[in-house]
A = this chain, B = another copy of it.
Amino acid sequence: MSRTPRRPLESLDSLAPPGPPDAPARVLHELGEAAGLLEQVMAGRLGLARSDLVVASVLAVHGPRTAGQLAEATGLTTGAVTGSLDRLERVGFAKRTADPGDRRRVIVTLRVERLGPIIALNEPLVRSLQALDAEYDPAQRALLADYVRRAALQFRSEALRLRAEGRRSAPRKRRRRAAT
């Protein structure tokens, strides 16, 4: 393995966040990179698409949701969510039930008793993160959790803002390909 030229480019700070090399915001990006890689690997291990894990994760964090809410939360189209739910149901990780109050809706619920494979894959990471947390005292933990939560809110609100902005102005620009 020969060396490749190092040194992060300066003017890229605003691409892959920013500023002082050791600013918290900067390392957030490394975290995102690592989390994405893990998601990729886990999806492969489970024989699922990456989006399926995202959907499952939303359900795990927020509890049962409708298909439309899942589309909203993940940024997928409703069609893509339909496909993802088909796959999750097929392997038994989730189930669809009719909303008793509004029969157009489909409420999606995780089948906790069937999640063994996912939980097993996640367990080592969960344990090591808990161990990491345990190194901090309660006041520090509160500071850390608060920071992460606020950063997450900023990511989320920015995502929603960009999406809303895009729906208006650039309805959907895709590949410009010559006619047949």
Number of chain copies forming the complex:
2
Interface residue range, chain A: 35 or more
Whether A25 contacts B130 by the Cβ 8 Å rule is yes
Please tell me if A79 contacts chain B, counting CB pairs below 8 Å.
no
Q: Which residues of B contact A74 (CB under 8 A)?
A: 36-37, 40
Residue in contact with A30 in the complex, picked from B61, B140, B163, CB distance below 8 Å:
B61
Residues of A within 8 A of B (CB): 2, 4-9, 11-19, 22-42, 44-45, 47, 54, 56-58, 60-66, 69, 73-76, 99, 101-102, 107, 110, 112, 115, 118-119, 121-126, 128-130, 132-133, 136, 140-145, 147-156, 158-159, 161-163, 166, 170, 172-175
